[in-house]
Structure 1
Amino acid sequence: METNARVLSRQLRTGSGRFLSNRRTIAGLALGAAGSMGLISLYQMGLIEHLPEPPLPWLDADRVDAAPEAYQRMGLPMPDAALGLVSYGTTVALAAMGGADRTTEQPWIPLAMAAKVGVDAVQAAKLTWEQWAEHRAFCSWCLLAAGLTFAAVPLAIPEARAALRRPGGQADGYEEIAREAGSWT
């Protein structure tokens, strides 16, 4: 008899369940966004002196990512790209958590992942707007991370919907919560 870990390993690596492709893509998008945050972290920590960007007049990652507000997000005295790394790592963990049948066995996981991806998208939009409003410039690496974040949103919704519509019409109260929050059903 195979262990749960062995089954999970096979499912995540080679499985073709209903939502595994979306989960893999979400993880890949989050890892790409984390890569952008990693590069920005190198700059914000002084490991590199300049963030390379295309020579366009509205791009200035050095100015945007060295601004005081980039060092005090959520009231924490640290560079915001480091927080971004943690956030995107959490998204990867939620995409990787649970087996192919997690919508029925652990419906809270796809719901948590959809909520996390949604919050990330709102935050990415806010930070993108803030860059222009405060600096009249953008960080291309931040725009890349934001684009990858936005791309994850429609991929998370189908599995969350399935988690809300558990077999036999049993939603265990999740449908009511979703209706109150704007209804995905």
Structure 2
Amino acid sequence: MGVISLYQLGVIKHLPDPPLSVFDSDKVDASEEAYALFQTPDGPIGLGSYAATLGLAAMGGRDRAEEHPLIPLALAAKVAFDALQAGKLTVDQITKHRALCSYCLVAAGATFATVPLVLPEARAALRALRSG
């Protein structure tokens, strides 16, 4: 998201892509959709979102599922929302833009990879809430 932000803010003029015709990160990241929320580029919004996720992941302590179960549940909800959004944006690249953003696909892949990582702690938090 940092590289996309630099492009959207005009710091860099071109996003290099893998040499396949299906990739056109410039087209995707300069689209109307990329500026739809508050007329703000979505790269910095994405960075803020990832920062919020990092904050939730860092909160609490080693036993937070038992001591503060709402934190891992909030993290799981945030990650689920992010994964749904990443899926929607990936589909939009294919259907609306007819081009893929390699940077966006890496971000989406990282987002999808976090889903199974948060589930065990979310389950433990649910157990703690039920027993407490």
Of residues 22, 36, 45, the one that matches 1:58 is 22
2:128 and 2:12 mapped to 1: Cα distance? 50
Deviation at 1:126, TM superposition (A): 0.2
2:26 and 2:39 mapped to 1: Cα distance? 19
2:9 and 2:98 mapped to 1: Cα distance? 24
Output the TM-score relative to the length of structure 2. 0.97
After superposition, give the CA deviation of every residue in 1:63-82 in whole Å (9 maximum; x if it has no partner). 11001111113xx1100111
Q: Could you say what the CA RMSD is over the residues aligned between the two structures, in angstroms?
A: 1.1
How many residue pairs get aligned? The number is 132
2:68 and 2:52 mapped to 1: Cα distance? 17
Task: Give the unaligned 5+ runs of structure 1.
Answer: 1-36, 172-185
Residue 23 of structure 2 aligns to which amino acid in structure 1? L
After superposition, give the CA deviation of every residue in 1:103-130 in whole Å (9 maximum; x if it has no partner). 1110000000000000000000000000
2:128 paired with 1:128: no
2:56 and 2:77 mapped to 1: Cα distance? 11
Which SS does the other structure have where 1:166 is aligned?
Answer: helix
1:123 and 1:69 mapped to 2: Cα distance? 13
2:53 paired with 1:118: no
Residue 43 of structure 1 aligns to which amino acid in structure 2? Y
Identity %: 61
2:2 paired with 1:38: yes
Task: Give the unaligned 5+ runs of structure 2.
Answer: none
Deviation at 1:57, TM superposition (A): 1.0
Of residues 56, 80, 83, the one that matches 2:45 is 83
Equivalence map 1:105-184=2 (5 Å): 105-166=67-128, 170-171=131-132
1:52 and 1:96 mapped to 2: Cα distance? 33
Deviation at 1:52, TM superposition (A): 1.3
1:170 and 1:96 mapped to 2: Cα distance? 25
Output the TM-score relative to the length of structure 1. 0.69
